[in-house]
Amino acid sequence: MNLEYGPEYDRFRAEVRTFIERHRPLAPKAGGRAARASSEAVAWQTLLLEHGYTARTIPREYGGYGAEPDILKSRIIAEEFARAGVPGGLANQGISMLVPTLLELGTEEQKRRWIAPTLRGEIVWCQGYSEPGAGSDLASLTTSAREENGEFVVNGQKIWTSTARQADMIFCLVRTEPEAPKHAGISYLIFPMDTPGIEVRPLKTMTGHAEFNETFFTDVRVPIDQIVGRRGQGWFVANATLGHERGMLGDPDALENRLLALIKLMQEERVGSERALDNPVLRDRLVALQAEVAAMKYNGMRVLSNQLKGEPGGMAKLIVKLQSCELAHQISALAIDAMGEMGILYDGSPREREGGAWQWNYMFQLGLIIGGGTAQIQKNIIAERGLNMPREPRLEPSAATSRKEVA
Amino acid sequence: MDFGLSSEQQMLKDAVRRCLADNCPLDHVRARADAGSAVSEPAAAALHAMGLSGLMVPEAHGGLGMTLLDAAVVAEELGRAVAPVPFLARSVLAPLAFVLAGSDAQRAAWLPAIAAGEARFGVAILGIVETRDGSGVLAGEDGLSGTALFALDFEGANHFIVADDAGRLHLVNAEANGVERVALKTIDATRSVGELRFDAVPGESLADDGGAAGRRLRDAGRALLAADSLGAAEVMIEKAVAYAGEREQFGRVIGSFQAVKHMCAEMAARHEPCRALVWYAAHAFDAVPDEAALTACHAKSHTGEVHRFVARTATEVHGGMGFTDLLGLHYWFKRIGFDRQVLGGPDKVRAEAAQLQDWAAAAA
């Protein structure tokens, strides 16, 4: 057990701290859930790109910093920005999911054209994966793309396309080979959102906001070279990015910051003259969550060590999405309980706490438990890949065929 | 940066596991339990031969001078094997007591004897955590008086370390005049506890340090109970997964039913982060003393909760067989139950964690 990063890394940490302290006044207020970065956020992003505090290992010719991959340095950057309460680099779906995919599987032309402006926040992307009939069973998707005069003609519907209204571009899974087995008939297309035939309808959720959209395609024409990977290879391409998304949803710094916010709330929120923290039942729940956040923090350090040694993450990594999302949800739940009646104030009400953020988090985090691989799918993955338990028997071939016909 | 066990610790772990596989199979555990003893002489002798009696004794006094994380590695394996072997008090807390609060003379007298397996200590420090049933030990001019509950590694002990009501530690000979020893029977047949009744017993005091050594013993004990629980719970998950892969109903192995698979996945998902937490708590005891008390609380309370869930869920996965004595699954179930309650159950330990952070006034 050695928790020292070593002198080289201590120096690097000091550099990052100095940078943050010196430039803090330029940092945008919050991480910013806004799909399109403000001019403030774009300037901040540019500064971070110049110093290698975001897109650190992406080659310079594609607009990154071009550093050698170094897990510890990346970790130090994340830790220091989180500790200082200053937003790090932009983390939208284009940067988190499309860019790694292009780096791995894109053509040279695609990399040169799309990665740099995406990193700079100039191009906003949305993700077209899920469909009303294809959620957990994503590979059963039916949005079609038939080839016609050197173009794909796309028809169908996507759902959960967050940022579709603001997006310039979409990366989208479509069925190009209807006769092939379901996993082998999918292709990964990228095309502009202002292409004729695309209609975006906001999808209002339980939070009262429309964090997502439905996106409809009617004879949307896409040049045939706007494909990532080969025809029929889209499932493989998409799985490269789903891994990145699952990584995104389990950030130990984020959990620690949520817990610190909860502690602060419980120190400030008063019932009569007593702080919420003085209530032994609430306090007991707080300590229980603190222990679990600590466990996830050290689990994250263990996963990091395994990565450093080039070992697979194993069970310690497989469980992160399931446990982190649930834990974040429980932290919000306790915050609401600590506020008592005040906990239900929302939507700009008088006496509302923190802009209703705890209620919004509580609801949205339930969405995160469901999204990006539901908790039940996560448990299948843990059981099958982590514990080597048998898969659910497949449907009889006749039943599977008839389902495909319906599709 | 390497968060995990060193190669030496991994070797220690493997060696203890092999030793217990050879000397302490389940049939042997059962035989000891049926005989009403929580001490397996062959297993204890084999571990002693590996040097584990002196694990925490400094090298200058003839021991191995290892850290609490090394001890946690051993504790985890003992939990895995549900081994009826005195360890926590005898080989960890007692030598720690002398290291932390012994005079030079006391160390010279007792540490080599512990390493040699001649001084066999039990440790009674529950009084630092809470009093029950009017328990309590007063140290007066005529010696120790009162009752100390839950002396650990009670069976076979020829000496005891006892905390008085002020938290100070004392050394007592088990055969001294005025000592009455009463064995307590618990659910867990693999470990022995007892109560000590003192009537003006001449004791030998360790340093008057305001209870600091006693609190360190409490923290170490909590981290190691969590480590023991970690090993026991891991076996329960392994057994549940194996059983679900063999047992057939409705023409399928039950492990292919999602209802069963998800029970196993939930156990694994909740259990896995406990490992990193326990390792960190044990590591912090030596390397990050400022965090030792709080992380020991977290490790103890969190494993207590998670492993209670694992113990009942793994039993359920085994269906009716899990409820019987035939598989012996209950030895692990009970070991986990013991680890959860001793030196403070989860609620008690969380209350202390809150006090440590000035979130609550100390209990009266």
CA-closest candidate to residue B274, choices B260, B292, B295, B243: B295
CATH number of the domain enclosing B283: 1.20.140.10
Contacts of B364 (CB under 8 A, 6+ apart): none
Contact A319 B301 (CB under 8 A): no
CA-closest candidate to residue A126, choices A177, A160, A82, A78: A160
With beta carbons less than 8 A apart as the criterion, state whether B160 and B194 touch: no
pLDDT of residue A33: 57
Answer yes or no: do B98 and B150 share one domain: no
- The DSSP string of B133-156 is TT-EEEEETTEEEEEEEEEES-TT
Answer yes or no: do B229 and B351 share one domain: yes
* Active-site entry in A245, A292, A326, A352: A245
pLDDT of residue A166: 94
The rounded percent of chain B whose pLDDT value lies above 90 is 98
Contacts of A22 (CB under 8 A, 6+ apart): none
CA neighbours closer than 13 Å in the CB half-sphere of residue B194 = 21
CA neighbours closer than 13 Å in the CB half-sphere of residue B260 = 26
CA distances from A3 to A45, A317, A327 (A): 31, 19, 25
The token pair at B323 is 């409820």
Residue A30 pLDDT exceeds 70: no
Query: Is residue A114 in some structural domain?
Result: no
Give CA–CA dist B85/B44, Å, rounded. Answer: 6
CA distances from B2 to A126, A306, A322, B6, B198 (A): 38, 8, 25, 8, 48
Give CA–CA dist A53/A298, Å, rounded. Answer: 24
Residue B269 pLDDT exceeds 70: yes
Residue A407 pLDDT exceeds 50: no
Answer yes or no: do A271 and A382 share one domain: yes
B263 touches chain A (CB under 8 A): no
Cα angle for residues A105, A108, A113 (degrees, 5° grid):
105
pLDDT of residue A394: 78
Length of chain B measured in residues: 364
Answer yes or no: do A270 and A371 share one domain: yes
Q: Give residue B217's Cα distance to chain centre.
A: 11
Answer yes or no: do A359 and A278 share one domain: yes
Which residues in chain B touch residue A280, judged by CB atoms under 8 angstroms apart? Answer: 351, 360
CATH number of the domain enclosing B14: 1.10.540.10
Instruction: State mean pLDDT over B138-162.
Output: 97
pLDDT of residue A37: 85
Query: Is residue B157 in some structural domain?
Result: yes
Give CA–CA dist B216/B96, Å, rounded. Answer: 9
Answer yes or no: do B218 and B347 share one domain: yes
A392 — pLDDT class (breaks 50, 70, 90): confident
- What DSSP designation does B92 have? I
**Tokens 């080289």 — which residue?**
A8
Which residue blocks in chain B are alpha helix, DSSP H? 7-23, 26-34, 41-49, 68-80, 94-101, 104-115, 126-129, 212-246, 258-287, 289-317, 319-323, 329-341, 346-356
Contacts of B18 (CB under 8 A, 6+ apart): none
Query: Is residue A329 in some structural domain?
Result: yes
Give me the residue from A286, A308, A386 closest to B268, CB to CB: A386
What distance in Å separates residue A379's CA from the closest CA in chain B? 5
What distance in Å separates residue A40's CA from the closest CA in chain B? 36
Give me the residue from B5, B276, B287 closest to A299, CB to CB: B276
Answer yes or no: do B241 and B340 share one domain: yes
Query: Is residue A113 in some structural domain?
Result: no
Contact B245 A389 (CB under 8 A): yes
Whole-angstrom distance between the N-terminal and C-terminal Cα of chain B? 43
Q: What is the pLDDT of residues B325-345, one digit of tens each?
A: 999 999 999 999 999 999 999
B contact test, residue of A246, A287, A292, A320 with most B CBs within 10 A: A287
- What DSSP designation does A374 have? -
Contact A295 B302 (CB under 8 A): yes
Residue A239 pLDDT exceeds 90: no
A187 strand-pairing partners: A174
Range of the domain at A81: 7-90
B171-175: long-range pairs with CB below 8 Å, 24+: B171/B106, B171/B110, B171/B203, B171/B204, B171/B205, B171/B206, B172/B144, B172/B196, B172/B198, B172/B201, B172/B203, B172/B204, B174/B122
Query: Is residue B1 in some structural domain?
Result: no
The rounded percent of chain A whose pLDDT value lies above 70 is 93
A42 — pLDDT class (breaks 50, 70, 90): very high
Query: Is residue A401 in some structural domain?
Result: no
Question: Which chain B residue lies closest to A376 (C-alpha atoms)?
Answer: B262
Answer yes or no: do B257 and B342 share one domain: yes
CA-closest candidate to residue B130, choices B351, B334, B359, B360: B351
Which residues in chain A touch residue B351, judged by CB atoms under 8 angstroms apart? Answer: 280, 283-284, 287
Which residues in chain A touch residue B245, judged by CB atoms under 8 angstroms apart? Answer: 389-390
pLDDT of residue B360: 84
The rounded percent of chain A whose pLDDT value lies above 90 is 82
**Tokens 């470990």 — which residue?**
B191
Range of the domain at B244: 212-356
With beta carbons less than 8 A apart as the criterion, state whether B278 and B230 touch: yes
Give CA–CA dist A33/A45, Å, rounded. Answer: 15
Residue A338 pLDDT exceeds 50: yes
B258 touches chain A (CB under 8 A): yes
Give CA–CA dist A92/A86, Å, rounded. Answer: 17
Instruction: State mean pLDDT over A197-224.
Output: 96
At which of B99, B115, B131 does a domain end?
B115
pLDDT of residue B273: 98
Query: Is residue A100 in some structural domain?
Result: no
Contact B268 A382 (CB under 8 A): yes
Q: Which amino acid is at A184?
A: A
Contact B261 A2 (CB under 8 A): no
With beta carbons less than 8 A apart as the criterion, state whether B199 and B145 touch: yes
pLDDT of residue A253: 82
Q: What is the mean pLDDT of chain A?
A: 92
B contact test, residue of A1, A2, A8, A376 with most B CBs within 10 A: A1
With beta carbons less than 8 A apart as the criterion, state whether A233 and A188 touch: yes
Answer yes or no: do B201 and B221 share one domain: no
pLDDT of residue A66: 95
Query: Is residue A338 in some structural domain?
Result: yes
pLDDT of residue B364: 42
CA-closest candidate to residue A269, choices A283, A256, A252: A283
Residue B234 pLDDT exceeds 80: yes
Q: What is the pLDDT of residues B28-46, one digit of tens each?
A: 999 999 999 999 999 999 9
Q: Identify which has the larger pLDDT, A38 or B283.
A: B283
B362 — pLDDT class (breaks 50, 70, 90): low
With beta carbons less than 8 A apart as the criterion, state whether A13 and A76 touch: yes
What distance in Å separates residue A307's CA from the closest CA in chain B? 10
Query: Is residue A229 in some structural domain?
Result: yes
A397 — pLDDT class (breaks 50, 70, 90): low
B contact test, residue of A389, A392, A394, A396 with most B CBs within 10 A: A389
Query: Is residue B303 in some structural domain?
Result: yes
Residue B323 pLDDT exceeds 90: yes
Tell me which of A13-17, A311-315, B148-152 is least confident. A311-315
Answer yes or no: do B301 and B352 share one domain: yes
Answer yes or no: do A255 and A217 share one domain: no
Question: Which chain A residue lies closest to B5 (C-alpha atoms)?
Answer: A1
What distance in Å separates residue A334's CA from the closest CA in chain B? 16
Answer yes or no: do A225 and A333 share one domain: no
Cα angle for residues B182, B184, B188 (degrees, 5° grid):
150
Contact A299 B6 (CB under 8 A): no
The token pair at A310 is 């080039």
Q: Identify which has the larger pLDDT, A35 or A311.
A: A311
Answer yes or no: do A364 and A268 share one domain: yes
Give me the residue from A9, A283, A387 closest to B268, CB to CB: A387
With beta carbons less than 8 A apart as the criterion, state whether A296 and A327 touch: yes
B304 touches chain A (CB under 8 A): no
Answer yes or no: do A75 and A168 share one domain: no
Answer yes or no: do B192 and B225 share one domain: no
Give CA–CA dist B10/A261, Å, rounded. Answer: 39
At which of A183, A207, A234 does a domain end?
A234
Helix (H) or strand (E) holding A50: helix A39-51
Q: What is the pLDDT of residues B53-97, one digit of tens each?
A: 999 999 999 999 999 999 999 999 999 999 999 999 999 999 999
Query: Is residue B361 in some structural domain?
Result: no
At which of A181, A210, A234 does a domain end?
A234
Q: Which amino acid is at A77?
A: I
Question: Which chain A residue lies closest to B264 (C-alpha atoms)?
Answer: A383
Answer yes or no: do A133 and A68 share one domain: no
Answer yes or no: do A342 and A229 share one domain: no
CA-closest candidate to residue B36, choices B192, B232, B196, B154: B192
Contact B287 A390 (CB under 8 A): no
Contact B277 A291 (CB under 8 A): yes
> If phi over 0 gives left and psi between -120 and 50 gives alpha, with beta otherwise, what is residue A297?
alpha
The rounded percent of chain B whose pLDDT value lies above 70 is 99
Answer yes or no: do A86 and A188 share one domain: no
* A and B: number of Cβ contacts within 8 A: 163
pLDDT of residue B143: 96
Contact B1 A295 (CB under 8 A): no
At which of B115, B146, B167 does a domain end?
B115
Residues 48-87 of B with CB under 8 A from A: 69
CA-closest candidate to residue A288, choices B311, B301, B129, B218: B301
Which residues in chain B touch residue A73, judged by CB atoms under 8 angstroms apart? Answer: none
Answer yes or no: do B159 and B101 share one domain: no
What is the tally of structural domains in chain B? Answer: 3
Q: What is the mean pLDDT of chain B?
A: 97
Answer yes or no: do B185 and B239 share one domain: no
pLDDT of residue A405: 45
CA-closest candidate to residue B298, choices B222, B233, B237: B222
Query: Is residue B234 in some structural domain?
Result: yes
Answer yes or no: do B270 and B342 share one domain: yes
Answer yes or no: do B178 and B251 share one domain: no
Nearest-10 Cα torsion for B216, B217, B219, B224: 140
At which of A182, A207, A234 does a domain end?
A234
- The DSSP string of B292-345 is HHHHHHHHHHHHHHHHHHHHHHHHHHTHHHHHSSSS-HHHHHHHHHHHHHTTS-
Query: Is residue A222 in some structural domain?
Result: yes
CATH number of the domain enclosing B191: 2.40.110.10
Query: Is residue B128 in some structural domain?
Result: yes
Instruction: State mean pLDDT over A385-390.
Output: 96
B347 touches chain A (CB under 8 A): yes
Instruction: State mean pLDDT over B126-136.
Output: 93
Give CA–CA dist B110/B97, Å, rounded. Answer: 11
pLDDT of residue A250: 57
What distance in Å separates residue B81's CA from the closest CA in chain A? 21
Query: Is residue B362 in some structural domain?
Result: no
Q: What is the pLDDT of residues B186-218, one digit of tens each?
A: 999 999 999 999 999 998 999 999 999 999 999
With beta carbons less than 8 A apart as the criterion, state whether A389 and B261 touch: yes
Question: Which chain B residue lies closest to A71 (C-alpha atoms)?
Answer: B1
CA-closest candidate to residue B176, choices B201, B195, B151, B144: B201
The token pair at A382 is 């843990």
Q: What is the pLDDT of residues B291-311, one digit of tens each?
A: 999 999 999 999 999 999 999
Which residues in chain A touch residue B354, judged by CB atoms under 8 angstroms apart? Answer: 283-284, 286-287
Tell me whether residue A268 is one of the annotated catalytic residues: no
Instruction: State mean pLDDT over A201-211.
Output: 95
CA-closest candidate to residue A339, choices A243, A234, A268: A268
pLDDT of residue A244: 56
Residue A404 pLDDT exceeds 90: no
Answer yes or no: do A146 and A214 share one domain: yes
Residue A374 pLDDT exceeds 50: yes
Answer yes or no: do A286 and A354 share one domain: yes
ipTM of the complex: 0.96
With beta carbons less than 8 A apart as the criterion, state whether A52 and A67 touch: yes
Instruction: State mean pLDDT over A287-298.
Output: 97
Query: Is residue B100 in some structural domain?
Result: yes
Cα angle for residues B221, A323, B224 (degrees, 5° grid):
10
What is the tally of structural domains in chain A? Answer: 3
